[in-house]
Amino acid sequence: MIRLLIGETASGKTEYLSEFSQREKFEVLNCDSRQIYKYFNIGTAKPDKSILNKIQHHLIDIVEITEDFSAGQFLCAADKIIDRADNLIISAGTPFYINVLLNGIDDIPKVKKETRDMITEMHREKGNSELYKFLSKVDPERAKQLNPNDTQRIKRSLEVYLDSGVPISRYFTKKKRERMNFDRIIYIRREKSVLEERVMERTLKMLNSGFIEEVEGLLKKYSVEDIMKKPIIGYVEAIEYLECNIDRDTMTDEIVRNTMGYIKRQRVFFKKILLPYADLVEYI
């Protein structure tokens, strides 16, 4: 049995899984692009040890922030789990990972080393903001999908465009994967006002649970550049706070605002991606 559980950030997926585990034994395939990273715990709202001990979760704490984890690696790992699991719930919040899982990987051409070197040099000379502006001009659709601090994907998008002359967003329209045979899709759908309240509560709880100390510890292990290359909401703002660029209240407000912006993108994506599965969706 394969079920898909989706819900925006702070909608309550972990709580649902914990409650459901009291009635049924199952495994969880985690589709969260932040929880794959080791040591990034409080700010990514990873399930606590009591839940992880009770419910087997896959694809949590599997890579370092300094390591790359490609869409191909994710899909390969996910397919192996799906093939062997008897009773699996796919818990999904990251649109990119869900899209890869449902639609496969697009046939994006390889990029020449000269092009990669050119983009790297452009980034060194002009900085991330200029690269993002450039991407916004040549591929506005892709730019809207990315965080302006997501250096890795911005550079990748520009490399593909400069090498092939085709915006990378065009390649993302190709679908190669057959419809997945879900037994059921559960969508935890909450009103925007409820989500905003939950995001604020979660942010305050996070800050009162040692989040700043967690970030300080990460900065002893990794460089700021390492963390900023794969920007995770919460950690970016916390680093700004620790570097005395913003005060604590501003940090809190920015975490909430940026999380709500991400939730908006999640909701738009969920609406689109679930159209072929409308007959299976149960809203709770």
Mean pLDDT of the chain: 92
Which CATH number is 113-171's, of 1.10.10.10, 1.10.20.140, 2.50.20.10, 1.10.760.10? Answer: 1.10.20.140
Q: What is the mean pLDDT of residues 122-146?
A: 92
CATH fold of the domain at 2-105+176-283: Rossmann fold (3.40.50)
Q: pLDDT-based confidence at 176, cuts 50/70/90? A: low
Burial of 170 (0-12, 13-18, 19+ CB in 10 A): middle
Give the pLDDT band (50/70/90) at residue 104: confident
Residue 175 has pLDDT above 60, yes or no: no
Determine the pLDDT at residue 22. Answer: 94
Residue 174 has pLDDT above 80, yes or no: no
Q: What is the mean pLDDT of residues 136-153?
A: 90
Mean pLDDT of 52-66: 96
Confidence of residue 147 (pLDDT cuts 50, 70, 90): confident
Instruction: Determine the pLDDT at residue 50.
Output: 92
* Percent of the chain residues topping a pLDDT of 90: 73
DSSP run (H or E) holding 16: helix 13-20
Domain boundaries, the chain: 2-105+176-283, 113-171
| Mean local confidence (pLDDT), 6-12 | 96
206-to-34, 63, 68, 89, 203 alpha-carbon distances in Å = 15, 23, 27, 26, 5
**pTM for the whole structure:** 0.80
What's the sign of the alpha-carbon dihedral 86, 12, 208, 38? positive
State the pLDDT confidence band at 164, using cuts at 50, 70 and 90: confident
